[in-house]
Amino acid sequence: MEVQGKVKMIGQTQTFGNNGFRKREIVVTTEEQYPQHIMVEFVQDKVDLLNSFQVGQPVKISINLRGREWVNPQGETKYFNSIQGWRIESEQSQGQAPAGMPPVPPADAFEPVNDFKEEDHDDLPF
């Protein structure tokens, strides 16, 4: 699965417990009729993937959905979901050409070409 949008926020790396579990969160705002602010967490060695990204940058994040079950001290079962990123790529904004490529002109910049002359329509060989 993937999430696409612009980076709204990149959090600091957090470390938990004696084992040194690391987590870092990023919020991506989708670009659709009703934009969503999606929080994605990167864990352990994946936290460093966020180092080269900035707020406002368009990105595509490959994600996994994770679900956990937890029984509280009162014996009630609770369920938690998380969105975990494992790859992040910079996305080109619409209208921009990839690095090293010339920009593509808009479709209406081209004029139709008519290579047929009016008198050529009856020159069929049969």
User: Which residues in the chain land under pLDDT 50?
Assistant: 95, 97-101, 108
> Half-sphere exposure (CA, 13 Å, Cβ side) for 108?
0
Whether 55 is in a domain gets the answer yes
**Residue-number span of the structural domain to which 81 is assigned:** 2-94
- Residue 115 gets the label, from left (phi > 0), alpha (psi -120 to 50) or beta, of alpha
Whether 17 is in a domain gets the answer yes
Whether 125 is in a domain gets the answer no
Quote the pLDDT of residue 92: 75
pTM: predicted TM-score of the whole model, two decimal places: 0.68
Whether 50 is in a domain gets the answer yes
Pairing of strands 77-90, 2-10: unpaired
Under 8 Å between Cβ of 55 and 8: yes
Whether 108 is in a domain gets the answer no
Pairing of strands 21-29, 14-16: antiparallel
| Tokens describing residue 5 | 């949008």
Whether 119 is in a domain gets the answer no
Whether 122 is in a domain gets the answer no
Whether 83 is in a domain gets the answer yes
Quote the pLDDT of residue 93: 54
* Cα–Cα distance for residue pair 92/101, rounded to 1 Å: 12
Quote the pLDDT of residue 97: 47
The count of domains in the chain is: 1
Place of tokens 């659709």: 32
**CATH code for the domain in which residue 60 is found:** 2.40.50.140
* Cα–Cα distance for residue pair 8/35, rounded to 1 Å: 12
Quote the pLDDT of residue 81: 96
